[in-house]
Amino acid sequence: MLDRLDPHTFKLHPQRDAVLSEVHARPFMQLIPPFKVIHYAFLAKGDAAASDRRGFVAFCRDRDFPSPQASAKHHQIDIGPVTLRWEQHAEFATFTWIVNSPADRQAEGAPGAVHSLMRALRQEGQLLVAIKLDVEQDACPLTRAEQLFDKSSLAMARIKGGESVMASDFRVDQNGFTRILVCDLGLTPHNLGALVQRLLEVETYRPLALLGLSTALELGPFVDRIDRRLGEVLEEMQGAEGLKLNNHLLAELTSLAASFERGATGSLFRFGASRAYYELVQSRLSIIEGSEIADYPTWSSFLARRVAPAMRTCETTADREATLSVKLARAADLLRTRVDVEIERQNRDLLHAINERAGQQLRLQCTVEGLSVAAIGYYVVSLFGYLAKGAHDVGLHVEPSYLTAGCVPIAVGVIWLVSYNTRKRHLKHRDEPSAMRE
């Protein structure tokens, strides 16, 4: 049938279900005020994240709650009047406890139960975010916010498309929590759930974005030192003469580049993550934030004055790192070229000296060959002279002196010809490997 997808007819992509389901991941909850939210975020990656996940699975199994699937990144369970929502992200995991307003005796002990359950959910990751978010139905949100928060850092705004209000001073209270107040004046359960989730995301991503600031402040002196030393090396390069000094500068520059890359490796991820988290904060605020209230700044304007400079510091440090990395690579290439040129110059001089010595050896060899021909000819003629004298003594009619004199040119000529052919054959064998290489 045309209106039904037959898996036997089509070859389905193995990730089709995953990518189509992604838009439905982490759905908004349906929430009815009043209630309280306690939200934790733990930094954990790799083995620590896997261990924390196993701990959460064991927590669910020990209490007969449904466990998350192996590939699940979020899971939700109901523990009496408390709802626990677990989410796992790239470098952190969150636990969101939603406590209904104590309308009966069972719900009165819910906040204490949350702390007891959270102690049972021990995490290897480090706690970065702890938020208490109260959703109330107060007709005078300004008065309520001024009662809860420090007026010097209070930020408030109306929710876009309604009269509901969100407020926070972004300070850590005496119990270690950041407090957020939402005065609900008529939001639907779905819209209220979306608002709560986005507010929790804003206050979770904000500290994560600011992690890059400490990295930038730590890297600042290190980048300054590398940049300053690079300038000194470049000045030394201008007056550097000789292979030894250039090799020394190249070794120092290579060590400097290795030290810089080693120190900057971790910061690349941190700065990129901070930029992404800050963009998420701005995106969430642009969705939920409406007009300001009284003389208090909105969340966007408050964070822009305090978080935006930190993000610019991170961006500036990241740009300096990228520029310095390029400068180090360019300087190393330039110095390596100078070293290569110096080595080629020395090789040229060495080859020239070798050629000169080979010419001298050739001339010396020719001289030695002439002497050798004369010496060998002398011995050959002497032997022939003894032979001629012996023949004369046995009665043959020969004149030893004439025969010896006649033998001299013949002996010298033959010896010279043999020596010449031998040298020619050696030269031919020597030139053959060069021809083969060419």
Provide the 3-class DSSP secondary structure of residue 362: helix
Distances (CA, A) of 63 to 58, 124, 153, 316: 9, 21, 42, 50
> What's the pLDDT tens digit per position in 366-385?
777 767 777 777 777 788 77
- Please identify which residue in the block is written with the tokens 């109901």: 78
Spell out the domain ranges in the chain: 28-196, 209-348
> Whole-angstrom Cα distance, residue 98 to residue 111?
9
Averaged pLDDT for residues 35-48: 91
Task: Name the DSSP letter for residue 290.
Answer: -
Residue of 324, 187, 328 whose CA lies nearest to 252:
328
The 165-168 sheet, strands edge to edge = 74-79, 82-88, 92-100, 35-43, 126-136, 178-183, 165-168, 155-158
Averaged pLDDT for residues 313-324: 89
Residue of 107, 115, 100 whose CA lies nearest to 40:
115
Averaged pLDDT for residues 15-31: 75
| pLDDT at residue 65 is higher than 60 | yes
| pLDDT at residue 257 is higher than 90 | no
- pLDDT, position 104: 44
Cross-strand partners of 135: 35, 182
> What's the pLDDT tens digit per position in 109-157?
455 667 778 888 888 889 999 999 999 987 788 888 999 999 999 999 9
- pLDDT, position 107: 43
Distances (CA, A) of 61 to 65, 67, 73, 110, 299: 6, 6, 17, 21, 41
Q: At what angle do helices 400-437 and 299-393 cross, to 10 degrees?
A: 160
Residue of 432, 41, 345 whose CA lies nearest to 205:
41
Q: Which residues of 259-282 are buried (b: 16+ CB within 10 A; e: fewer)?
A: ebeeebeebeebbebbbebbebbb
Q: Quick one: what percent of the chain has pLDDT higher than 90?
A: 27
Confidence tier at 108 by pLDDT (50, 70, 90): very low
